[in-house]
Structure formats: C-alpha cells, structure tokens
Structure 1
Amino acid sequence: MNIALLGYGKMGKTIEEIAINRGHEIVLKVEQDISNYKVEENKIDVAIDFSIPGAAFNNITTCFRKSIPVVCGTTGWLDHLDEAKEICLKNDSAFLYASNFSVGVNIFFELNKKLASMMQGMEDYSVNIEEIHHTQKLDAPSGTAITLANQIKEIGTHFKGWKLDKKEDHFIPIFAKREENVPGTHTVSYVSEIDSIEIKHTANSRLGFALGAVLAAEFLHNKKGIFSMKDVLSGLLQDNV
C-alpha cells in the first residue's frame, strides 16, 4: 500500500519503520498539519494520523474529501468525532478511530468490560483509573483511560461519567500522571476496606501501538464505512483459524 503519515513525531517514525518492513511505501509525510501539503489522492491508499489535537480534524476531513481512508490515533479532538464520521460517509470514504491501537490494550478493553460486569452490585468497592504517560503527551486523561471509563459507565448505570484527578459521587475518577520515558500504563482498580482488585496494562515500547496502526491500515484498505479495532481483531482471529 501507499501510506500517508499525518504526524511525523516519534510515533510516526515508528509506524514508518514497521510499514516499510511489512512491504508498504510511505508516499507522504506531514509534520503536523496537512494544510501546507499537496495531497494527490490517486497515490495514497490509506492515511494514518498521529498528529496533534489542533490539526487532527482538518487532516482527517481533508483526506475524506479526497476519498482517502483514514486510520486515526490522535486524541484530544473527539468533540468533533461525530462530525468527522458524517463527512467520511458523505464522501464515501472509510474511517477507523481508536484511542489505542495496541492489540494487547484491546484485549485489556475486553477484560475491563468483563470485570465491570462482574463488579455490578458490589457496593463495598469503589473504582478508579490511573494512567501514566511520557511528559510529551499533550492531553490528559489519555484516550485509552477515557475508553476504559466509558466502558465501565455503560455497564454501571449509576455512573454519570468521569472526572480528572478528583473523586466525586457517581463519577469515575481518572488520575493522570506524566513521567519521563513512559509509553503508557493503565490500571483499573476496585478498592474496598477488605481488599483490592486491579487489572493493568503496561506498554514496554511504542511498537505495539505502531504495529496495531499498520494492521488497521491494512484492514481499512479498499473498504468503505466506519470501523473500529474490534473489527481488525475479528479479522485477525479469522485469519488465524
């Protein structure tokens, strides 16, 4: 495939390495904002956006208007996600957004839903989420932490949503920390006076995120519509049967 990289920071460079190793070609590299670049859609099969919150919506919708499918892992712009999906469908393009492309994290999401379901009715336990990332991460909390909180909220109907760095009745607290050289660690904890239960995912490098993004791009190639990493994982499982 011919791939456009929208966002050419540390993640973009890691994606480039993995994509080339898998036989793909990088035909466009955008530092952050696509506005200053000439996009020739006939040479681009899929775009992968890991840019910045302020540029993501314009990057994505510019591609849609040229019928270029987009895989997006940028967080911090999701107030415009529904609008982006509408523009995608209107232009007969394809879109796959994920708060985290790591295959391991997406397994972690399924564990989170299962544990949340099991903890229903356990009123002695309070839930909280902690996320730790590198100091260059611009948004807080992480998109992955928000996904975890939203999954718990959907299962636990007494939750109204989440709050950043504070505890409040009927809200799931997310505690965000920024430390040097931490690719990403997420912990979901249920705590009572008697004991604690937790599940945790620790990324050892960016390779898992980057590989997942390339797998998503391979999945999205020649498709139309809105997809998720669950669709990618289902395809991988079918291929391995």
Structure 2
Amino acid sequence: MKIALLGYGRMGKEIEKIALQRGHEIVIKTSGKETYDITTANVAIDFSVPSSAYNNISNCINHKVPVISGTTGWLEKYNEIVDLCNDKKGAFIYASNFSLGVNVFFELNKQLAKMMNTLEQYNISLEEIHHTKKLDAPSGTAITLAEGIIENSNKKNWELEKITSEENIPITAIRTPDVPGTHTVTYSSDIDTIDIKHTAHNRQGFALGAVIAAEWLHNKTGVYTMRDVLNLG
C-alpha cells in the first residue's frame, strides 16, 4: 500500500519503520505545515495533534482515502466525522490506542467491571503514566477504560484526580520521562485489592497495530473500531 503519515513525530517515525518492514511505501510525511496531495495515498494514518486531526481526517474522507486516527483530544467532533464518513461513503477507524494488547485489555476491563458491579465494598480507580511530552491528560486510553467501566457498571462519569461524587471514577495522570504508557485499573477494599495492568515497553506495539488497522481498512467503506479489526466482537 501507499501510506500517508499525517503527523511525523515519534509515533509517525515508528509507524514508518513497521510499514516499510511489511512491504508498504510511504508517499506522504507531514508534520502539519507541508502541502500534499492526499489522493496519492491508498490509506492515511493520522498521529498528529488535536488541533490538526479533524482537518486531516475530513480531508481524507472528502477525497475517498481510508484513514485511521490515533490522535486524542479532538473527540468533541467525532460524530461529525462519522456523519461525513457515512455521507461520503468513506472509511475511518479511530482508536485511543492501536496496541493489540491494549485492545484485549479493553475487553478484559469490561468483563471485570461486569463481575465487580455488585460488590459494593470495592472502590474503583484508574491510573495512567506517560512521557512528559504527552499533550493531553488523562490519556485517551484511560478515558476508553473509564467508558468501558461506565457501560458495565453503575458508575456515571470519570474525573481527573479528585472526585466530586462516588458515582464517578477517579483517574490519576502521571507524567514522567520516557514512559510509553502504563495503565492500571484498581478495585480496592479493606480486605484486598484487585489490579489489572497494561505496560507498554516501547512504541512498536502502537505502530504495529496502526499498520495492521490500515491494512484491514484498505478497500473498505464504513466506520469501524479495533474490535472489528481484531474480531473481538
């Protein structure tokens, strides 16, 4: 495939390595200021910044180029992109985290939330740790985990750091140098504690998942998720 990399930071460079290893060609590499013709690509991978993601994605859809996005912090416009994609018969995947292991972790998190929902003696919390250059907090992955719990429990919302209601899930966001991403879901009582945790050792897992998603989306139309890519549904 001919791939456009919309966002050529650390993730973009890691994706480039994986894509080339898998026999693909990188035809566009942009960090936001360059001009380019998106129609030269078979598929686009967006790992840009929140202020650029919407324009990148809509440009791809308008030109019928399948696009996957791992950029977080722009999701207030997600439904607009879904509507545009359906209207233009485009192809789109958004994931807060493309790591194959994390997407399995998302499913495990949902199942655990169902099992713990009736055990009122347990308090739930989330913690995420990332490198200091990460722009948003909490991470998109932590938000996805919180949403998975909310869908399968009596929790109503999430809050960063301190909670104002027991119906909400507290998320702690820690920034420290050179941490690709660690997420922990904790159920704690006076008697014991249950933790499930995912630790990324490097960015290769994110990059591999993004390329696999791009391969899967090629020649398709519609709005999908990593659950579709990995057949987890």
Query: Partner of 2:225 in structure 1?
Result: 228
CA distance in 2, matches of 1:68, 1:19: 17
What is the match of residue 19 of structure 2? 19
Which runs of at least 4 in structure 1 moved beyond 2 Å after TM superposition?
A: none
Q: Report deviation, 1:38.
A: 2.6
CA distance in 2 between counterparts of 1:92 and 1:68 reads 10
Structure 2 distance, partners of 1:32, 1:192, is 48
Query: Match for 1:14: what amino acid?
Result: E
Structure 2 letter corresponding to 1:125: Y
Partner of 2:163: 167
Distance (whole Å) between structure 1 residues aligned to residue 52 and residue 23 of structure 2: 28
TM-score (norm 1): 0.94
Deviations 1:131-158 (A, max 9, x none): 00000000000010000000100111x3
TM-score by length of 2: 0.97
Report the alpha carbon displacement of residue 197 of structure 1 after superposing the two structures with TM: 0.4
Q: How far apart are residue 167 of structure 1 and its match? A: 2.4
The C-alpha deviation readout for 1:144-202, integer Å capped at 9, x for no partner, is 0000000100111x322100011232100110000000000000000111110010000
**CA spacing shift, 1:195–1:87, aligned 2, 3 Å:** same
Q: Report how far residue 108 of structure 1 moved.
A: 0.5
Identity of aligned residues (%): 58
Matched, 1:190 2:184: no
Partner SS, residue 163 of structure 1:
strand
**SS at 1:122's partner residue?**
coil
Which residue of structure 2 aligns with residue 97 of structure 1? 94
Residue 165 of structure 1 aligns with an amino acid whose one-letter code is E
Q: Is the 8 A contact 2:38 2:60 kept in 1?
A: no
Residue of structure 1 aligned with 2:36, choices 32, 35, 38: 38
Q: Which residue of 1 aligns with 2:178?
A: 181
What is the one-letter code of the residue matched to 2:217?
L
Can you list the C-alpha shifts for 1:10-64, whole angstroms capped at 9, x where unaligned? 000000000001000000011135xx413141x2110000000010001100111
Q: How does 1:210-229 map to 2 (within 5 A)?
A: 210-229=207-226
Structure 2 gap segments, 5+ residues each = none
Q: Match for 2:36: what amino acid?
A: K
Residue type of the alignment partner of 1:131: E
Counterpart residue type for residue 209 of structure 1: F
Distance, in Å, in 1 between the alignment partners of 2:42 and 2:102 is 26
Structure 2 counterpart of 1:37, one-letter code? T
Change in 2 beyond 3 A, CA 1:155/1:40: closer
Match of 2:79 in 1: 82
1:130 aligns with 2:127: yes
What RMSD over aligned residues (CA atoms) do the two structures have, in Å?
1.3
The answer on whether the counterparts of 2:43 and 2:214 sit within 8 Å (CA) in structure 1 is yes
Matched-pair contact (CA < 8 Å) for 2:150–2:157: yes
Equivalent residues of 2:90, 2:222 under 8 A apart: yes
